[in-house]
Structure 1
Amino acid sequence: MFTLDVNRDLKLELINTRFAPIYLDIVTRDQEYLSQWLVWPPHAHDEAFFLSFIKKSLHDYAEGKSLVCGIIYQGQLVGSVSYNTINQSLKKVEIGYWLSSLHQGKGIVSQAVAKLIELAFTQFGMEKVQISAATENTPSRKVCERLGFTLEGVIRRAENLNGRIVDHAIYGLDRATWQIAD
Structure 2
Amino acid sequence: MFVHKIDEEVSLKLIELKDAERIFELTNNSREYLREWLPWLDTVTKIEDTKDYIKLSLKGFAENKSLNTVILFNGEIVGVADYHTINWSHKFAYIGYWLGEKYQGKGIMTKVAKALTDYAFNELKLNRVEIRVAVENKKSRAIPERLGFVNEGRIRQAEWLYDHYVDHIVYGMLAEDWNKK
Q: TM-score range by the shorter chain?
A: over 0.9
The equivalent of 2:128 in structure 1 is 128
Aligned partner letter, 1:34: L
CA RMSD, Structure 1 to Structure 2 (Å): 0.7
Aligned to 2:179, what secondary structure does the other structure show? helix
Q: Distance in 2 between the 1:95 and 1:124 partners?
A: 14
Q: How does 1:118-157 map to 2 (within 5 A)?
A: 118-157=118-157
Q: Structure 1 residue 49 and structure 2 residue 49: aligned?
A: yes
Q: Distance in 1 between the 2:148 and 2:127 partners?
A: 15
The equivalent of 1:110 in structure 2 is 110
Q: How does 1:171-182 map to 2 (within 5 A)?
A: 171-181=171-181
Identical residues among aligned pairs (%): 38
Q: Distance in 1 between the 2:59 and 2:9 partners?
A: 29
Shift of 1:2: 2.0
Q: Structure 1 residue 60 and structure 2 residue 57: aligned?
A: no
Q: Structure 1 residue 17 and structure 2 residue 17: aligned?
A: yes
Q: Distance in 1 between the 2:66 and 2:25 partners?
A: 24
Aligned to 1:130, what secondary structure does the other structure show? strand
The equivalent of 1:70 in structure 2 is 70
Shift of 1:180: 1.2
Q: TM-score, length-normalised on structure 1?
A: 0.98
Question: When the two structures are aligned, how many residues end up with a matched partner?
Answer: 181
Q: TM-score, length-normalised on structure 2?
A: 0.98
Q: Distance in 2 between the 1:75 and 1:151 partners?
A: 34
Aligned to 2:126, what secondary structure does the other structure show? coil
Aligned partner letter, 2:45: H
Task: Return 5+ residue gaps in structure 1 as ranges.
Answer: none
Task: Return 5+ residue gaps in structure 2 as ranges.
Answer: none
Aligned partner letter, 1:14: L
Structure 1 residues 83-113: Cα deviation after superposition (integer angstroms, max 9, x where no partner) = 0000011100000000001000111001011
Aligned to 1:180, what secondary structure does the other structure show? coil
Could you list the structure 1 runs, at least 4 aligned residues long, displaced by more than 2 angstroms after superposition. none
Aligned to 2:86, what secondary structure does the other structure show? strand
